[in-house]
Amino acid sequence: MQEGQDWVYSDVVKDHFLHPRNYLMGDESKFPYDAMGIVGNPICGDQMKMFIQVKDNKIVDLRWKTYGCASAIASTSALSEIAKGKTLEDALKISAKDIDDYLGNLPKHKFHCSILGHDALKAAIEEYKSKNK
């Protein structure tokens, strides 16, 4: 970075990238999840997995794994904080813009990372609902 240029990420993005919340370290089988969603973006190469635990129609815990850039990791970390404790219906209402706002705004060319997080959570919830009809 050249002297005098501003850093493009907010402090919240940097914090979630450097200190990700609810990240699933190691063996996925050690986290007893009820459903999992996986999404990817073939253009940028990012891939996200979201694992949820559900009780009484609420997300009581969740973990995630992301292969991607700082924005992808920060977006998934932030989403994990936002979604915990919400009903499945309320969690589905979390938008990519909500994630972006929570992070203090990603650079415009990185907004798609918040969309991937939203899509991974939606996929996990859809899997849960299909298994528990």
Classify residue 86: in a domain, yes or no. yes
Return the pLDDT at 7.
62
Return the pLDDT at 107.
86
Residues of the chain short of pLDDT 70, as ranges, are 1-7
- 113 flagged as catalytic: yes
Across the beta sheet with 58-67, what order do the strands follow? Answer: 35-40, 47-55, 58-67
- Spell out the SS3 assignment of 19-72: CCCCECCCCHHHCCCCEEEEEECCCCCCEEEEEEEEECCEEEEEEEEEECCHHH
Classify residue 1: in a domain, yes or no. no
Structural domain count, the chain = 1
Residue 26, Cβ neighbours under 10 Å: how many?
A: 8
Return the pLDDT at 111.
78
Classify residue 6: in a domain, yes or no. no
Return the pLDDT at 6.
60
pLDDT tens digit sequence for 45-69: 788 999 999 999 999 999 999 888 8
- The CATH number that applies at residue 87 is 3.90.1010.10
Classify residue 102: in a domain, yes or no. yes
Whether 46 contacts 58, CB under 8 Å: no
- Which of 44, 69, 70, 92 is flagged as catalytic? 44
Task: Give the chain's end-to-end CA distance (angstroms, integer).
Answer: 53
Return the pLDDT at 89.
97
d(CA 78, CA 10): 13
Whether 87 contacts 53, CB under 8 Å: no
- Which of 113, 116, 120, 125 is flagged as catalytic? 113
Classify residue 2: in a domain, yes or no. no
Classify residue 20: in a domain, yes or no. yes
- 69 flagged as catalytic: no
